[in-house]
Structure 1
């Protein structure tokens, strides 16, 4: 380990005090001068220490995030910016890079979690900042940026935007996104002000704050302009507005021309810009006076930068290559890469471009936006331009089998397909045109091309391998099959594709077989980064599966065997712990409202198969009532145990999920959980213990008696260090004994909890790997159907009754998956393409094919 003897600061972060009493940060309730900001930054920097360390900053839109960022830079500590509202991404980056210090939102200044004294990393002297590539938060692939990168790009931006000390920029984009960060850096460099807000541009309070604080600019991505149209921005009275900047994806030329004309009429400039995280932020800008005449151009290189055009074999256009002092040092894939110096001298953008006679650069396509069909190389961008010439807004995608076009509005798909086939020279059967109300879009407002491709019926697979025989190249196919998502892209993750705890079981087993291993954070790792390892030799006797999967499978077998009286080993309450674990693991990231919709849909995936099965049981037997069908027996059923209590587990699970989903829909609870993830979980444990110890007044409502176990599982998912694991373990050891009146039952729950806390994987016989996964995935369905299956088989043999119950549950699980998939495809055909959801700043994160919204899965499927 090498310790740098001197901490070299980033100049604009270390020199805040030189701007004196000028306003630095303006919020709805306060104004902080540069001198006051410098004082807070110095205090935080002192807490970070004098030895150079790797700092992970959980970024949100609050002042303490800004203070933590500037403190790390001014102290010479490399800082890794991560989204504070996405626990899965934070956990992934923490596990991948093992930071020395973690800064979290904490009010006036960030909370500092010192994970060790000093550092265990070798950090290159030039390294200043680490950002996730193209907004793909949570990916272990990071961009390494130097002090020179940050200062040079901030200086270039400040120069061409003409930023003055009197300017004030509203923070409409997240700090962990390079575009939002560049706004901060360039304004602090010039001593200008930041109007700090997390409000969306569709919120009237945003514009009230904008006017009150005299804001002169704001940053926008393409989707922001759709929102601006909705709120009548073009006619707003904003007397101080001087410029609007746009980046984060291509804005359609007609929109550029329209907004530039609006700006000219209203007295502000539109700066269309082009950039990438790998270039710190910006590479080019279009001078505002040229925007109306050349709306399709990215403009000229930023001051200090330059472009060249490199020919590409077999393509009519050249690749755009950028050089300048803001080009990154290189990528980082793991902590060892933090010691590396410069590996990149220029940036190959992957964009195809040309230079106009006026000296402006225009991007005309992507190297990756070509497909080869019927022996012809087809430019998908050209297909879209052909249709635009016909007055049709469209998006084109394709593979080796077909060209698929989504055409917005009410076109004639057959006529368009014929025109395209003739224009491009393709067989008519290779062109599919689908009419849609709106083009499908990612969370950043960009066209969702995988979704466009998925509009057409799937092409017949070529020699598809059976499940369980996959190879390393089958990651996308596995996820597509498990999640019934034909639109899996290289930047997608299991979570972003809508995976939940049941599909997690199936996917993890198949992926581990295909890749030879699975990293702990595989569910939030992009497909492109799930790389294979050398395969172990055949005939291995033992496989290692995730502890939660093994426990779920074992628990449901024990539940059925206990009811059959083959043996007695009660494990149902351990399943509530696993339910809480999975709820926290898959359900608590992303924005509150979209997350609520997903949670409710997932709750439906629990309720619908349960109600359907119980309805059948009610019609076939006299054991159940309509209260059972409605999942209300726990509230209105008999107090003594009868057959009507058979489904108590499902009812309690639904009650608990309804309660926590409702709780997390409350804004203050959502904010509290994001800021204090483990503390929030422990608070829920405390509430549950009121019921466990019967401390609630009899006249008041009290939580379900299993709620504290669910909350303990939630807390397990939030443990990040040894001290937190010890704390949750102690809580389990103190609270579980004495509750059930059975030492064996209590020991089972405690043992399961401790395994989840301390042991990530458990060994199982290799031959039982797939069976274990099936049982874990089908655990709820096994629980439902076994009440109908085992009674008539007891006379044959208890073992037969258990095996038949398990098999019937797996079959019912498979049936529900097929029905759900069919309904999903039917719905997709009816509503093919919904626009993305804006982020907290009212804009969308530009990402190369990565949804910027939720790195979360729907609510965990039941056990």
Structure 2
């Protein structure tokens, strides 16, 4: 990726036959598209390949306008958040060519609208990436009204021939209005988080180009780490999203992100629950940005109302006030109260009218006032509130879907069905045979431009009807909801896997490992089992939903040549232990299967072997217990400090503490009763506090004791709502501050350390908080800071042991800087077994190796590992039957 300041690459090749002008073009066009050069050398576009100034953009727009010719013609444009489509779009607007804007990734829509409207030029990419302006007609074949500038679909991406006709004035007026109430200026930079062919995404482009602001052109999802790299590198100030975007922001920990230049977040494209509006408004207040909740329709170019950000927290249920230049009135509607009516909108951004055939492109204005189809009321404070819909149109993931059109499409494919919107999903009840469900879902998803997860299908032998004989759409919604669907088939194995390992009965496609309360004890097993089913996992898989993980799994046809075939998901439970590791070693080609291994897992696996081996005296490599304390803090941040609400967070913490403390106390109690090596204080994990002796075995379990103390203390602190909010707001700052405080204990300035200071909880707490901070160190600057802190504070902890000090520094530097390490499949399996059983190996090895150490040291090492893995299996089985653990 080039630095944003590097020269922008040459434009992609464009093919268009030369056209001789037949008649002069009417000197019309959209002003903001014609006046780009006025902003000179200000940055207009920012892409992974570099920056493009307004002057350079204007030159490319002028060149493309010349290629389009001087004869006014209809241009069908395959939209995408890339430079070539945007340049072509602006060229057409500036020169007065009407644009039929369609989704660039939907072949059926491009085909159907090309057939329906016979555009003179089709602008789209070829298979080799070449951007083409393919000429179908040398002259305009349609009568085009002088005001016509843009045609957009009214119903998402179903390929419906019904289009919204928008004028040059509509585009300019709505862009002016939006830029005014959002306060956009030439220092702003907005990311293209929404599709260009969607009126909301297009309005972001219009309003920012109007003011000479920058556009961060990207086609990445906000769920991708690379998106945020581009956003920060481009100095992004504006972020736009539909409700589903905010679902993704919740999952990726948006509230913890450091985005110092972010000024505003905008939301439209469907109703966001009032409590979430209020929560994001409060987050924006704390973080220094404003939340604008907006309301609009394609028929109004984009926006009709907005909620002033200062009212978002106290009036989150309202859509707000009309945009500058617009106005509302309520049309009384039968069957509703006197204060409720259909919302009608007037303003310069109201469409010219609809088009259903090429002949309609010659029409002028046929609509003066827009009937929104929404039922609304005006509150005493002047804010408008939407209370329902008069029509069946539904907004799903920001797309306006016409269920009637979907029913007609299915009818064309021989499927009789009823369709209804249900929140963020399209519910489809269809007549058919068992086994047709997947085909119908795929057909609807492709035609509507929706992901499969947003289409719920139920195949029935009789469609639900009301007593009047009309379709029962409420029954369609009810019958297609997950709780009503027949038992899951093989494609839902991941749901069963999550339910089995995390002991949850309410797992859905939108569940994540962290969201279900997964912790470091079951993390390793889950990651190995998922790798067997899905292949290589992203480093943040624990925060991704099952649906996202399933979508990321590449089909066999896309695997790189020579890569081993991924095994079919198993119906029974695979053995993740030694048997699984041995199977991996003996699988043909397994040593050639390249994988990666998370650094935290690798440190746990290597660390427990070196700890036990050093105790057995097979070798003497010390320091890994302190590395694992840092790993424990790292995992605490990843698995306990999720985006869950306060009470759920505390419940997860309590469950994790119990899963560490109870098995430890059970085992140590047995050791106290059967041997003379331990005092009763060990059994209740209090030896570090009581300090009854200085014998080696009295301090054997210092690590477990310290870990439990830290978790209990932090759970108590975060039980205070104010501190919980502080952690969510200062995800990196809080652990960094705690590390600074913990350095008081590191140097024992208060004299609290025991006779073995390097094993004292007060001395090692800074390592735990350092690991916590490492999990939140998303930038190079933060990692450098933590590394410097490590290099300054660690020396002297282990007096006269330079090798131990160096080992700990290297291990923690790996954790801070290197998220994954190259590996092989059998090594992953073995590391998984050792890492998942590391706590239990540590607990049990003191009762195993002393009996074999003198005569059979290697056997003592191996036996200690096996017994610990066995105890891990027992604990795992018990915790899955005793829910409170």
TM range (shorter): 0.5 to 0.7
Aligned to 2:591: 540
1:26-45 to structure 2, matched below 5 A, reads 38=183, 42=185
> Could you report, residue by residue, the CA deviation over 1:114-160 in whole angstroms, capped at 9, with x for unpaired residues?
x36799xxx9xxx97687458344779x9xxxxxxx99978x99xxx
Secondary structure, counterpart of 2:728 in structure 1: helix
Matched with 2:805 is 746
Distance 2:401 2:606 in 1: 61
Q: State whether residues 169 and 194 of structure 1, in contact with CA within 8 Å, keep that contact through their aligned partners in structure 2.
A: no
Tell me whether 1:758 sits opposite 2:817 in the alignment: yes
Query: Partner of 2:688 in structure 1?
Result: 634
Rate the CA distance shift 1:680–1:264 in 2: closer, same or farther, 3 A: same
1:690-748 per-residue CA deviation (whole Å, 9 max, x = no partner) reads: 1112234769xx97211110111112111112222222112111111111111121111
Q: In structure 2, what is the Cα distance between the partners aligned to 1:93 and 1:809?
A: 38
Structure 2 residue 466 is the aligned partner of structure 1 residue 368: no
Match of 2:674 among 614, 620, 623: 620
Distance in 2, matches of 1:697 and 1:713, equals 24
Per-residue CA deviation, residues 792-818 of structure 1 (Å, 9 max, x unaligned), is 232541111111111111111111111
Shift in Å, 1:286? 5.4
User: Are the counterparts in 2 of residues 509 and 773 from structure 1 also a CA contact under 8 Å?
Assistant: yes
The answer to whether the Cα contact below 8 Å between 2:536 and 2:595 also exists between their aligned partners in 1 is no
2:266/2:292 contact within 8 Å kept: no
Specify the alignment match of 2:641 in structure 1.
588
1:662 pairs with 2:662: no
Cα distance change on mapping 1:620 and 1:79 into 2, 3 Å: farther
1:564 and 2:616 equivalent?
A: yes
CA distance in 2, matches of 1:589, 1:300: 38
| Whole-angstrom distance in 2 between the partners of 1:811 and 1:72 | 64
Q: Kindly tell me: are residues 152 and 696 of structure 1, through their superposed partners in 2, closer, same or farther at Cα, counting changes over 3 Å?
A: closer
User: Helix, strand or coil for the counterpart of 2:685?
Assistant: coil
Partner of residue 37, structure 2 = none
- Are the counterparts in 2 of residues 172 and 218 from structure 1 also a CA contact under 8 Å? no
Aligned partners of 1:73, 1:519: CA distance in 2, in Å? 39
* CA deviation vs aligned residue, 1:27-52 (integer Å, no higher than 9, x gap): xxxxxxx7xx84xx65xx62x4xxx6
Match in the other structure for 1:730: 788
Task: Say if 2:868 is the partner of 1:809.
Answer: yes
* Contact 1:138–1:524, Cα closer than 8 Å, also in 2: no
For residues 474-513 of structure 1, the aligned pairs below 5 Å read 475-476=494-495, 478-485=497-504, 488-513=507-532
d(CA) in 1 for partners of 2:826, 2:317: 66
Show the counterpart of 2:542. 523
1:274 aligns with: none
Tell me which residue corresponds to 1:679: 733
Output one character per residue of 1:562-584: Cα deviation in whole Å (capped at 9) or x when no partner.
22222221211111110011111
Tell me by how many angstroms 1:780 deviates. 0.8
CA drift at 1:782: 0.8
1:95 aligns with 2:225: yes
Counterpart in the other structure of 2:308: 194
Q: Quote the residue 1:773 is aligned against.
A: 832
Distance 1:592 1:152, change over 3 A: closer
**Residue 667 and residue 807 in structure 1: after superposition, are their counterparts in 2 closer, same or farther (change >3 A)?**
same
Deviation at residue 518 of structure 1 after TM alignment: 1.8
Could you tell me which of 818, 841, 845 is aligned with 1:782?
841
* Change over 3 Å in CA distance of 1:269–1:185 after alignment to 2: closer
Moved more, 783-792 or 309-318: 309-318
User: Where do 5+ consecutive residues of structure 2 fail to align?
Assistant: 1-48, 58-89, 91-170, 195-203, 255-264, 284-289, 321-327, 344-369, 378-386, 423-444, 467-471, 565-588, 754-759
Is the Cα contact below 8 Å between 1:789 and 1:801 reproduced in 2? yes
Q: Establish whether residue 299 from structure 1 lines up as the match of residue 299 from structure 2.
A: no
Rg: which structure is higher? Answer: 2
Residues 192 and 217, structure 2, Cα contact 8 Å, conserved in 1: yes
Following superposition, the deviation at residue 676 of structure 1 comes to 2.8
Distance between the aligned counterparts of 1:658 and 1:196, measured in 2? 39
TM-score by length of 2: 0.54
Query: Does the CA contact (< 8 Å) of 1:547 and 1:755 recur in 2?
Result: yes
Find the partner of 1:317 among 402, 417, 429.
417
- Matching of residue 602 in structure 1 with residue 656 in structure 2: yes
Equivalent residues in 2 for 1:364-443, closer than 5 Å: 368-370=456-458
Q: CA–CA distance in 2 between the matches of 1:634 and 1:243?
A: 72
Please say if residues 677 and 718 of structure 1, whose CA atoms lie closer than 8 Å, have aligned partners that are also in contact: yes
CA contact 1:131–1:176 (8 Å) conserved in 2: no
CA distance in 2, matches of 1:807, 1:169: 51
Which of these residues, 784, 791, 797, is aligned with residue 856 of structure 2? 797
CA distance in 1: counterparts of 2:846 and 2:266, whole angstroms: 68
2:266–2:293 CA contact under 8 A, matched in 1: no
- Which region of structure 1 is more displaced relative to structure 2, 778-787 or 309-318? 309-318
- Give the secondary-structure state (helix, strand or coil) at the position aligned to 1:545: strand
- Could you give the per-residue CA deviations for residues 376-400 of structure 1, whole angstroms, max 9, x where no partner exists? 7587x899xxxxx9xx9x9768xxx
Q: Rate the CA distance shift 1:11–1:153 in 2: closer, same or farther, 3 A.
A: farther
- Which structure 2 residues correspond to residues 113-128 of structure 1 after superposition, within 5 A? 115=233
Asked whether the 8 Å contact 2:682–2:701 carries over to 1, the reply is yes
Q: Deviations over 1:544-599 (max 9, x none)?
A: 31111111011111111122222221211111110011111122222222211211
Q: Which has the higher contact order (CA 8 A, sep 6+)?
A: 1
| Separation of aligned partners in 2, 1:798 and 1:672 | 50
- Secondary structure of the 2:821 match is strand
1:473 positional shift: 9.1
- Alignment partners' CA distance in 1, 2:172 and 2:635: 41
Q: Do the aligned partners of 1:678 and 1:718 also contact (CA within 8 Å) in 2? A: yes
Native 8 Å contact 1:781 1:813 kept in 2: yes
RMSD in angstroms over aligned alpha carbons?
Answer: 5.6
